Amino acid sequence: MAQEPATAKPLTREQAQKLLYQMVLIRKFEEMSAEMYTKTKIRGFLHLYIGEEAVAVGVMQSLGTEDNVLCTYREHGHALVRGLDPKIIMAEMYGKQEGCSRGRGGSMHLFDAKTRFYGGNAIVAGHLAMAVGMALADKKMKRNGLTCCFFGEGAIAEGAFHEAMNLAALWQVPVLFVCENNFYAMGTALRYTHAQTDLTLKGAAYGIASAAVDGMDLLAVMQAADTASDTVRNTGKPYLLVCNTYRFRAHSMFDAELYREKSEVEEWKKRDPIPGFYNYLMLQQLLTADDFKAMEIQAENEVQEAVDFAETCSWEPVEELTKYTYSENAS
């Protein structure tokens, strides 16, 4: 099933293949993560993004290096697209000190100052107001960046969401709120958590420009994200972009998935963003089957290298247990 070209700018072969590669890399990276979890190399909670790749890949294209990014605990894909080396992500998930958060955070807490990647936040809706504050700082310091904050639709039920939206609108700060609506907050479906299920109205209620997009369609997400980021950059005001998507896997590795029918999952899998974009590129003659095979091998190698690296990394000495509780240069 080919996707309709939604974007105005035609893609070059190189751009097109890079986009597809980013989605493939996330997919392979997460499949490997699941395997390493069953091998108990990765512990704690592991939340997979499989099925939702087009959202992170699509939105991230509209961001620049001066922008800030905040995510939830389901953030491996965002970290990869943002440019974190798969090696330091995998090392983090192993809990090794070469990891991007020195192994302190694990899967749910990927951080990277170099790419302005502010987590990896595991209290639902806890990072939304922080995003507002980061945008406020940019505004006060007269910097150009915007702050992009990803969260699930479950977060919209929290008071913290509404406070953050109001503050962002009231203070007119450049935040791009990206709601990754995968229709389930753990086992609770959207219709059981929200009386108003049109999520764009939640932004509109605060006077925030809001739009929804098919989050399984990479090009559509890219175009919507471009419009959204341009609006934020041009007006300095917040924007709410709702990406409708679906997670193909369980909520975390502890989930028996009692709350949804297998057939529903299968139905959504027909809209898998990777074959969708693949078919489109084939139709546009921007990709060959051999290109794709090579791409898959390259991604597999990159992921294998990440695992090999994580294996050779070291554990932080236990003597350093209380390190990073306070800044080292604090008085």
Partner 1 sequence: MPDNLITYRECIKQAIREALLGDERVFMMGEDVGRYGGAFAVSKNLLQEFGPERIMDTPLSEAGFVGAGIGAALGGMRPIVEIMTVNFSLLALDQIANNAATLLHMSGGQFNVPLVIRMSAGIGRQLAAQHSHSWEPLFAHLPGLRVLSAGTHEDARYMLAPALLDPDPVIIFEYTSLLNLENKLPENTGSIDISKAKVRREGKDISIITYGTGVYKSLEAATELAASGIDAEVVDLRILRPLDEETIIASVAETHRALIVEDASKSVSISSEVSARIMERCFYELDAPVKRLCGAEVPIPYPKHLEDAAVPQPAQIVSSIKNILQHA
Ligand X SMILES: Cc1ncc(C[n+]2csc(CCOP(=O)(O)OP(=O)(O)O)c2C)c(N)n1
- 271 is a site residue for partner 1 (CB under 8 A): no
Query: 247: which residues sit within 8 A by CB, 6+ positions away?
Result: 48, 49, 50, 51, 52, 74, 182, 184
Question: The tokens of 13 are what?
Answer: 């072969």
Residue at shortest CB range from ligand X: 152
- 54 is a site residue for ligand X (CB under 6 A): no
- 108 is a site residue for ligand X (CB under 6 A): no
Question: Segment near ligand X (CB under 6 A), from 19-27, 36-44, 147-155, 289-297?
Answer: 147-155
CB of 158 to partner 1, least distance (A): 5
| Residues 85-104, interacting with partner 1 (CB under 8 A) | 95-96, 103-104
Tell me which amino acid residue 118 is: Y
Q: Which residues pair with 214 in a beta bridge?
A: 244
- 125 is a site residue for partner 1 (CB under 8 A): yes
Residue of 2, 137, 157, 265 that binds partner 1 (CB under 8 A): 157
CB of 265 to partner 1, least distance (A): 15
Closest of 180, 147, 140 to residue 164, by C-alpha: 147
Question: The tokens of 77 are what?
Answer: 């894909």
Query: What's the CA dihedral at 36, 90, 101, 45 to 10 degrees?
Result: -30
Report whether 93 contacts 33 (CB < 8 A): yes
| Residues 41-70, interacting with partner 1 (CB under 8 A) | 43-45
Q: What's the DSSP call for residue 112? A: B
CB of 185 to partner 1, least distance (A): 6
CB of 126 to ligand X, least distance (A): 7
Please spell the DSSP secondary structure of 240-302, one letter per residue: EEEEE---SS-SSTT---TTS-HHHHHHHHTT-HHHHHHHHHHHTTS--HHHHHHHHHHHHHH
Binding site for partner 1 (CB under 8 A): 43-45, 95-96, 103-106, 108-109, 121-126, 154-155, 157-160, 185-189, 192-194, 254-256, 258-259, 315-316, 318, 321-322, 325
Binding site for ligand X (CB under 6 A): 72, 74, 122-124, 152-155, 180, 182, 184-186, 251
